[in-house]
Chains A and B, each alone.
Chain A
Amino acid sequence: MTAIDHQAALARAGANVTGWWSRTLFFARRYPLGAVGAVIVFLFIFTAVFADVIAPVDPTATNAKYSLAPPSSMFWLGADFMGRDMYSRIIHGARISLAVGAGAMGLGGILGISIGLASGYLGGWIDLALQRLMDIMQALPLLVLAIIMAASLGPSLRNTVIAIAIPLVPSVARVVRSSTLSLREQPFVEAARAVGMGELRVAVRHVLPNTLAPLIVLATAQLGSAILVEASLSFLGLGVPEPHPSWGRMLSESAAEYVRTAPWLVIWPGVAISLTVFGTNLLGDALRDLLDPRQRS
């Protein structure tokens, strides 16, 4: 694999890559589905960041009078068993999902990058040991490892992030390692070493930036799966606890009990999860096409 950057990729694709705006337009025209995904992801992040401003009421405020109230002008998406506004809860749920998704992706990314760089750059027995560790972690399906981790750590927001981040590490480490291996022998890296740069500096300054393209592709995919795993963990009661309005949590136990009297309890959180993950998947696909020409179809 060779060094790739956006400019080059776009240039190869025959675009006139001047300003940011035209690049965006080009992207949208070349990858309409990817553009839809980007819009969804942007909306998701926007909602999460400005949840306090967007949500009409406090998502944890209970009110006996409105228990299981159907959608109305007051409760756009209805109210839950405790009379809490579903719309506000969904809005704030974006924040939980983003916090866990981005947190897990970030933490898993940092760990994975460190391990991958160490592995690929240092080689030798360190590489061997780290690779075996990655093998072990990949011997269990993502959700199974996350469940065991989450149960060991106990339900809380922080622990959920850790429980999801750890299983994400091996794939990041693998990607970084393989790019590092091929980059290590590249002329520009050798040149940097020749002028007397320290090994760590070479790795971070020259090798890491060039593994960015496959990492971006991977990160987008991982954001989606982290959100899905968070929802599953919370659904099983092992993830983010009440009263945090987690989408997965909203779908567990009580929601299903009122399925017929209050279907909105089941429908909206599921739509929110699916739409968000759908958006990241669309965007991820387009980014893969753009940044990783080998897999272009």
Chain B
Amino acid sequence: MGAYLVRRLFLMAVTLVGMSILIFVLLRLVPGNIADILVDATGNDDPQEKARIVHDLGIDRPLVEQYWQWINGLAHGDLGYAFVSERPAIEEIAPRIPISSKLAGLAIFFAVLLGVPLGVVSAVRQNSGLDYGLRVLSLSGLSLPAFWLGLLVLMASVQWFGTIPIYDADAHGFFTQVKMLALPAIVVGFRSSALIMRLTRSSMLEVLRQDYVRTARSKGASNASVNYDHALRNALLPVVTVIGIEAAFLVGGLIVTETVFNIPGVARFLVEAIRWRDYPIVQNLTMLIAVVVVTMNFLVDMAYMVLDPRIKFGG
């Protein structure tokens, strides 16, 4: 197991280094840089002003040097200065992380709350009308674009409540925050709930067909106890893993939802920063996302191994 861990960690490091090179190069392929944007924003295409800004920000230096500076800084916990706000990038990024995390956490919470029970019901009543209905519902969850769902929710909110949830950074207290984030979280979580439901259903079905469940049944255990005690507990393992992976991949849903609901989280900030060619922000944010994804994958694999004795460690 030790050797396997070392290998996994090494591969993770390789992936992250590769990611840093990829994002660094991609960004520099983007047409226009921050100086173009700052100067053009005033409708005044002054090459001298541009050259000065480019020089001040150091983006005229050799790429290798720029890359080294970034990575070296990262290693020392220095994320550099944001181009647009001219403040340390860490001060721009750090306050947005809890906002997106809260939203993502709440979304996963809603997704599990909805997905697991419906998945179980669907499996237990396999091929019933209810099962079909729930399967169609879950597929629709995978088919609705999150931003459209968001727009519909906003429309409905105005129609019924005459108001919309506007993000307020000064909202304190658990319930105020939950109330503020509930609608966007449901929008983000809807898709995940569909995934979770499908997975719960299929792994429930698989477990229900296993021998020990049949044995339990033949020994006279009640249907309910078989379904909910034996089967559910065993079926939840893959579900837990998908929740882990999904939590990392929620970022996609967060981007459009934070845009629709005007929530100042990291996801919307990333798009904004790409628009402004704010290299330090984009580079560091992308790395942050990559670290979260890679770590989640790793943790899920670990959890899987620890929880499921059938899996052997090895190459």
Contacts and interface: CB of A to CB of B under 8 A. Distances in A.
Given A33-B135, A152-B27, A277 B142 contact: yes
B40 to A, nearest CB: 15
A59 interface: no
Contacts of A149: 26
17 contacts: A135-B15, A136-B15, A139-B19, A140-B19, A140-B289, A140-B293, A143-B256, A144-B251, A147-B255, A151-B30, A231-B145, A251-B148, A260-B158, A270-B144, A274-B144, A274-B145, A278-B140
A266 B155 CA distance: 10
A88 to B, nearest CB: 21
Interface string A145-174: 001110110100000000000000000000
Contacts of A18: none
Contacts of A148: 23, 26-27, 274, 282, 286
Interface of A is mostly: helix
A94 interface: no
Contacts of B140: 274, 278
Interface of B: 11, 14-16, 18-19, 22-23, 26-27, 29-31, 126, 132, 135-136, 139-140, 142-148, 151-152, 154-155, 158, 201-202, 205-206, 248-252, 255-256, 259, 270-271, 274-275, 282, 286, 289-290, 293-294
Contacts of A133: 18
A121 B5 CA distance: 27
A141 B158 contact: no
Contacts of A232: 145-147, 252, 255-256
Nearest 7 CB-CB pairings of A with B: A143-B252, A270-B148, A136-B18, A278-B143, A277-B143, A139-B290, A152-B30
A236 interface: yes
Contacts of B22: 136-137
Contacts of A83: none
B24 to A, nearest CB: 11
Given A33-B136, A144-B289, A277-B143, A139 B15 contact: yes
A266 B151 contact: yes
Nearest to B248: A141
A50 B129 CA distance: 37
Contacts of A295: 202
Interface string A208-246: 000000000000000010001001100110000000000
Contact of A132 (B15, B143, B144, B151): B15
